[in-house]
A and B are shown apart, each in its own frame.
Chain A
Amino acid sequence: MFEFEDHNSLEEQLMQASADSAIPLRGGLRQQVLDAARQARSRKIYTRSLVALGSFFLTVTMFFLIHDSEKSHRVASDRTPGWPKTIYVKGSQVLGISTAAAHRPEAIKTDWNSVQATLKQSGEWGLVDAVVRFRNERAGTIEQIFHRGE
């Protein structure tokens, strides 16, 4: 069957065999391959959607977190009539009152009732509650609290 004088003839024999070397494939393999490819594509689309949805939720969460943290250090307007100090609040908790010198020329009323009245007038109901709580937790007038550094 085989004749070898050198490797060239062996190569020729191998080459001749190549025509008959086709390996029959399993009948259902073609369909199996196509199904596998379709499944892989669906999986890829599903994964991409999941990643996109996850990114969206992450972005929205980050947005609200940043938005809330900016909001939480709310500063009551020092332009409210009759109140020269700035009240720093976080949520409904009063963090402190500014020690900055008053830059208002008009007479300032610093008793609790005036402060509450001013805040009520400006519609800052949350701050009114916070100021009441702040007052209840401390003794003395606003000036005394301020001088004590509370």
Chain B
Amino acid sequence: MEKLAPAKFAAKIRCCANDLQDHGVDRLGSLYDLTAHRLVRYAVTVTKNMSDAEDAIQATMVRIAMKPKILATAQQPWAYLLRVARNEALRILQKRKPLQIFAQCRQLWARDSEVVEDNDQAQVIRQALKRLPTNQSEVVVLKIWEDMTFAEIASVLDESPNTVASRYRYALQKLDGYLRPLAREDINV
């Protein structure tokens, strides 16, 4: 995944939105290619599973395709897009609420028996992020992987920057707790 500077990335999104506005839905592909991988990475932290995250991305893209002007004129197009994706992800979770208890039980069981066979660092971190509460893991993803400021994250999550900052601090403490034992194991091996 090519990592663009935030300003350049925002400019590209705006360009795609303008293109979408001028030429219609057929130009949605370029916006999808530009943002889908990063959006799904964030959506997974909200939905905790891939298929719901993909559904959220589809709903996001359709929503944007219907009203591209809002994205084209948004002050922070990437933050806006993330917010739409988050809302869609939460909507999907809301629809699946009756099945959620079962899913949570399954997740807890999976967590206990979770063995990280793959020693890949990204995989380990992803697993550790999954163990965090959603509101903390999404702050970490937005702060570190999306390189956003606390103010920008606050606008995506509709929270105050102070709340976001404290969630980030708690998340790092917990991640530290999860990952440090793994680091020790590694040293001992």
A residues bordering B, Cβ < 8 Å? Answer: 1-4, 7, 10-11, 13-23, 25-26, 29-30, 32-34, 36-38, 40-41, 44
Contact = CB atoms under 8 A, between A and B. Distances in A.
Interface stretch (B7-15, B37-45, B73-81): B37-45
B156 interface: no
Interface string B127-143: 00000000000001000
A33 B40 CA distance: 13
Contacts of A14: 125, 140, 144-145, 175
Given A19-B3, A23-B41, A30-B29, 16 more contacts: A3-B183, A4-B176, A11-B144, A13-B121, A13-B125, A14-B140, A17-B126, A18-B145, A20-B120, A20-B121, A21-B122, A23-B37, A25-B37, A25-B40, A26-B54, A29-B36
Contact of A2 (B25, B41, B62, B182): B182
Q: Which of A3, A29, A37, A40 has the most CB of B within 10 A?
A: A37
B24 interface: yes
A33 B37 contact: no
A78 to B, nearest CB: 62
Given A10-B175, A14-B140, A1 B121 contact: yes
Interface string B148-189: 000000000000000000000000110110011011001000
B121 A33 contact: no
Interface of B: 1, 3, 24-26, 28-29, 32-33, 36-37, 40-41, 44, 50, 54, 57-58, 61-62, 65-66, 119-122, 124-126, 140, 144-145, 172-173, 175-176, 179-180, 182-183, 186
Given A34-B28, A37-B28, A22 B61 contact: no
B107 to A, nearest CB: 18
Contact of A37 (B62, B125, B179, B182): B62
Contacts, number: 107
Contacts of B36: 25, 29-30, 33
A1 B180 CA distance: 9
A33 B61 contact: yes
Contacts of B124: 1
A1 B183 contact: yes
Given A32-B58, A33-B28, A10 B176 contact: yes
Contacts of A38: 25-26
Contacts of A26: 54
A44 B58 CA distance: 17
B41 A22 contact: yes
Contact of B125 (A21, A25, A32): A21
Given A11-B144, A23-B44, A37-B65, A30 B172 contact: no
